[in-house]
Structure 1
Amino acid sequence: MFAKVIIFSGLLAISLCAPVDEPVAILAQTSDILPDGSFQSNYETADGTKVEQTGTVKQVGEEVVQTIHGSISYTDKEGNKHELTYVADENGFQPQSADLPVVPEIPLAIQKSLEYNAAHPEPMEH
């Protein structure tokens, strides 16, 4: 019995600590899907979130490829605005945003070392 009380108390504490988010109203929403596979959709919510996507179908060589262009914008709980635009096509997913991390440049000494190693490979031992 004591173990059940402890377990119940723990579950109660966890449930009381869990954040409760209120549902967010959808202010506008459209979606149009055409027979050729192209589409356009978007929505906007009361908290300022906006999502837009446009999809088209195009011929790449002998393949038919779906391409999608889109954007997402929202404001986080601290009041910071975030925006992301993207393309998804035969070249993969290509996001762009100031929020995405940027790969630092390779230091010159390491770059020279990599170039030297590529130009002078060690013989393979079997």
Structure 2
Amino acid sequence: MKFLIVFVALFALAVAAPAQSDDVQVLRQDSNVGIDNFQTSLELNNGIKQQAEGQLKQISNEESAIVVRGSYSWVDPSGQQHTITYIADENGYQPQGADIPVAPVA
């Protein structure tokens, strides 16, 4: 289980990382991994930010799941900041943000 938590934390950092560039520098990076929880954050000088926290949730006597809450943001070439917040749990990945298209009401 600890391996899974570490893997999720490292995956979140990898997703937030930009394509290789010599100009990008890490301004802040924090990580705290426990037995049944983790917290991680990353901020780059190009406006990319990422934070996530997760914890083990007991669903039933036989099942458990990792619940991850977090957000990531970036600045587009025109200077506008975009932010996505999300929760990922036994119900799947559930993002929210102004940049996510919404289906029309039928």
Q: TM-score, normalised by structure 1?
A: 0.64
In 2, Cα distance between equivalents of 1:57 and 1:23: 37
Unaligned runs of 5+ in 2: 1-19
Residue type at the aligned position of 1:26: V
Large movers: runs of 4+ above 6 Å: none
Look up the match of 2:79: 79
Displacement after TM superposition at 1:78 (Å): 1.6
Query: What is the count of residue pairs matched by the alignment?
Result: 86
Displacement after TM superposition at 1:89 (Å): 0.1
Displacement after TM superposition at 1:22 (Å): 3.8
Look up the match of 1:67: 67
Once the two structures are superposed, residues 21-61 of structure 1 have per-residue CA deviations (whole angstroms, 9 ceiling, x without a partner) of: 5431000001111123x100001011121100001001001
Residue type at the aligned position of 1:70: G
State, as a whole percentage, how many aligned pairs show the same letter.
Answer: 42
| Larger helix share, 1 or 2 | 1
In 2, Cα distance between equivalents of 1:75 and 1:58: 34
Map 1:17-36 onto structure 2 (within 5 A). 21-36=21-36
Question: What secondary structure is seen at the aligned counterpart in 2 of 1:78?
Answer: coil
Map 1:1-126 onto structure 2 (within 5 A). 21-36=21-36, 38-61=37-60, 62-106=62-106
Question: What secondary structure is seen at the aligned counterpart in 1 of 2:94?
Answer: strand
In 2, Cα distance between equivalents of 1:44 and 1:80: 17
In 2, Cα distance between equivalents of 1:31 and 1:23: 23
Question: What secondary structure is seen at the aligned counterpart in 2 of 1:98?
Answer: coil
In 2, Cα distance between equivalents of 1:28 and 1:21: 17
Once the two structures are superposed, residues 3-23 of structure 1 have per-residue CA deviations (whole angstroms, 9 ceiling, x without a partner) of: xxxxxxxxxxxxxxxxx9543
Q: Please provide the CA RMSD for this pair.
A: 1.5
In 1, Cα distance between equivalents of 2:35 and 2:86: 24
Unaligned runs of 5+ in 1: 1-19, 107-126
Question: What secondary structure is seen at the aligned counterpart in 2 of 1:48?
Answer: coil
